[in-house]
Structure 1
Amino acid sequence: MAGAPDKADTAFRTIGELSRETGLPQHILRYWETRFPQLRPLQRAGKRRYYRPGDVALVRRIDALLNREGYTIKGVQQLLATKGAAPVTPAPGADGAARLRTIRDALAEALRRDAI
C-alpha cells in the first residue's frame, strides 16, 4: 500500500485519502462506483465523497479480486451479487501468482513433451 493511514480505521475517508492509501487513482474509484452498486460512499455538498469503513473494505476487496486474483469486472459483479460484500477467504496457498506459475510450468512441460 502507498503508506500508513493518517486516520483511525473507523474514520471516514475522502476519495483522495483512499486513493493514497490504496494506490488506486481517483478516477478508478469513481468508475468502480458506477460498476458496483454495493460501493456507495456518502456524498456531501459539492459532490465530495466520504468513504465509510465498509466502503474502504469493499474497495480493498474489489482491488484484490481484480488486480491480484485475476477476476474481470463482470466476474467481481457476479461474485458480489451472489456472495454479498463479505470477504472471500482464499484456500491456503491459493495466491494468484503461484497458480499462474503452476499453469506456466504445466504448459512448458506439455510443449517440451510435444517437441520430443
Structure 2
Amino acid sequence: MTAGVKGPEAFRTIGEVTAELGIAQHILRYWETKFPQLKPLQRAGGRRYYRPEDVALLRQIDQLLNRQGYTVRGVQQLLKSKEPIPEPEPVAEDLLGALKRVRAELVEAIR
C-alpha cells in the first residue's frame, strides 16, 4: 500500500469524507441529526471518525438527496422502510457530470 493512502476498511475523518463526496462538513453534521442510522465514532474533543459503512450510507444519502431529488423526509422514509434504494438513471448521472465539467470550466475561466 502506498504511504498516505488509506485502505478501504480504514476509518475516515470528516475532512476526508467531505473531500471524497464533495460536500461541506456542516452538511454531514446536519445529516447526522436527521438520519439516526448514521453514527460516526466521536473521540475526545468531538473529532469524528467514519467507518466504511458510514461512508457507504453517506454516499447513498448524497445520491438520493443531491442527484435523485429526494427530500430529507423522503430519504428518512426510504431508510426506515428497509426497501431497496432506487438506483439512479444513467442519463441523470451523465447530465450531472456534464454540469460539473461546465461549472469547473466556468470557474477556471473566471480566474
Tell me the CA shift for residue 95 of structure 1.
4.0
Q: For residues 63-106 of structure 1, what are the alpha-carbon distances to aligned partners after superposition, in whole Å with 9 as ceiling and x for unaligned?
A: 0000111100000000000017xx62528xx34738xxxxxxxx
Alpha-carbon distance change, 68 to 96 in structure 1, aligned in 2, over 3 angstroms? farther
Q: Is 1:90 aligned to residue 110 of structure 2?
A: no
RMSD over aligned Cα atoms: 2.2
1:46 maps to 45
Tell me the CA shift for residue 8 of structure 1.
1.2
Alpha-carbon distance change, 62 to 96 in structure 1, aligned in 2, over 3 angstroms? farther
Long gaps (5+) in structure 2: 94-111
In 1, the alpha carbon distance for the partners of 2:91 and 2:47 equals 35
| Counterpart amino acid of residue 88 in structure 1 | I
Alpha-carbon distance change, 95 to 83 in structure 1, aligned in 2, over 3 angstroms? farther
Alpha-carbon distance change, 96 to 70 in structure 1, aligned in 2, over 3 angstroms? farther
| Counterpart amino acid of residue 16 in structure 1 | G
| Counterpart amino acid of residue 15 in structure 1 | I
Long gaps (5+) in structure 1: 99-116
Larger Rg over CA atoms: 1
Alpha-carbon distance change, 43 to 96 in structure 1, aligned in 2, over 3 angstroms? farther
TM-score, with length taken from structure 1:
0.70
Corresponding residue pairs, total: 90
What aligned pairs does 1:1-116 form with structure 2 within 5 A after superposition? 6-83=5-82, 88-90=85-87, 94-95=89-90, 97=92
Tell me the CA shift for residue 16 of structure 1.
0.6
In 2, the alpha carbon distance for the partners of 1:89 and 1:76 equals 11
